[in-house]
Amino acid sequence: MTINALKLTQFRNYEAGNLIFHNKFNAFVGLNGMGKTNILDALYYLCLGKSYFSSGDRMVIMQSKDFFRIEGTFDTNTDMEKVVIKSQSGNRKDIEVSGKKVDRIGDHVGKFLCVMIAPADIQLMLEGSEERRNFLNNTIVQTDRSYLDDLMLYSNLLKRRNALLKAFADQRYFDSLLLESVSAGMYAPAQRIFEKRKAQVAQMQEIFTETYAEISGQRESCSITYESQLYIEDLESLMKKSLDKDRILARTSFGIHKDDLIFTMNGEPLKHFASQGQLKSFVLSLKLTQYKLLEANSGKKPVLLLDDIFDKLDPSRVKHLLSLLLDNNFGQVFITDTNEDRMVKVLNEIDTEYSIFTVDCGTIS
């Protein structure tokens, strides 16, 4: 799958833009703050129906404007598809694929596969468990629609259960039958989510070990472990045992919303012992593993978006990473960099076809 063209209207710092892409490598160069990352975010938005960097649609509308529109043309190898996403302040966003309106964002996820790698990923992966769960969820939902349905069902019921627990605490009464009527709906989707996460991480670990060795030169031994309370007991048993605790805390203390991914290097926690270079190699390997998983589970090559990943790397390592992408046949790649001379030199050295775009204050040439 490739993205052939992109058209922007009032998206972030682009009042208007119209781009035609190469089917292999596309590089965006320019100083920081000029809008290189915004191009990648627009491409991510087209694929997954949301921004990679902002939680709300309002945040991507150009300042002082009241709507945005992005349009992309996809070559799926079997057909040409036009995706249009638009949103006006205060209204729901509209997604259309080849002229047909998509009723739910969940119906769009998985049609156009995409992996983004950005500098902020290092901290996001090391801070809260929610970010690591989001990474795992983002990997599975792109190739498994039933997983997304289970995830949405569980999340909605979890909100209802927590709201009930809080209401019981505030009003000083308790209705066990009402609480159980909500809890019971969570048991089956939680178990299915647990089983799919467990299987996905097992598949991920094997690919990750190989990918990290390629990038780091086998300097360290790294691992990914899936941690879940459901390894101990099923959710129904856990919830019954934790009922008194939940009533005191006024929230649900057990469930798959507590799952985590544990990252280690040479047997020690990654965030305490890894250097900045090792962290960057780890996260890059993790995201390339995500790419390979999506390809293996779908039979399609996702679009790969690389935002400023060569920052603070010497030219030889930049060349090595780009050669790695080329040798492993990663499909269509979009890259941003602040150094145009470096990018052109490396792309010429690895002997690949490419298009290069210069970005300056929301204009592209």
CATH of the domain at 337: 3.40.50.300
174 plus 199 within the same structural domain: yes
| Of residues 252, 284, 282, 256, the one with CA closest to residue 269 | 282
Task: Give 302: exposed, middle or buried? Use CB within 10 Å, 0-12, 13-18, 19+.
Answer: buried
292 plus 305 within the same structural domain: no
The pLDDT assigned to 55 comes to 81
The pLDDT assigned to 26 comes to 95
194 plus 169 within the same structural domain: yes
What pTM was estimated for this model as a whole? 0.93
Strand partners, 116: 305
Domain end: 298, 329, 346, which one? 298
146 plus 239 within the same structural domain: yes
The pLDDT assigned to 75 comes to 95
CATH number at residue 230: 1.20.1050.90
Domain count along the chain: 2
Domain that includes residue 33, residue range = 1-113+300-365
188 plus 239 within the same structural domain: yes
The pLDDT assigned to 317 comes to 66
Domain end: 249, 279, 298, which one? 298
Compute the distance between CA of residue 43 and CA of residue 6 in angstroms, rounded to an integer.
8
217 plus 136 within the same structural domain: yes
Contacts of 341-347 with CB under 8 Å at 24 or more apart are 342/310, 342/315, 342/318, 343/27, 343/29, 345/315, 346/315, 346/318, 346/319, 346/322, 347/25, 347/27, 347/322
151 plus 273 within the same structural domain: yes
pLDDT tens series, the chain, 365 aa: 999 999 999 999 999 999 999 999 999 999 988 999 999 999 999 999 999 998 888 889 999 899 999 999 999 888 999 999 999 887 889 999 999 999 988 899 999 999 999 988 887 777 889 999 999 999 999 999 999 999 999 999 999 999 999 999 999 999 999 999 999 999 999 999 999 999 999 999 989 998 888 887 767 888 999 999 999 999 999 999 999 999 999 999 999 999 999 999 888 888 888 887 788 888 888 999 999 999 999 999 999 999 988 776 666 666 777 777 777 778 899 999 998 888 888 888 777 889 999 999 888 98
The pLDDT assigned to 341 comes to 87
The pLDDT assigned to 4 comes to 97
The pLDDT assigned to 195 comes to 98
The pLDDT assigned to 243 comes to 97
Task: Give 127: exposed, middle or buried? Use CB within 10 Å, 0-12, 13-18, 19+.
Answer: exposed
Tell me whether strands 333-337 and 303-307 are parallel, antiparallel or unpaired: parallel
Compute the distance between CA of residue 61 and CA of residue 66 in angstroms, rounded to an integer.
7
Strand partners, 303: 114
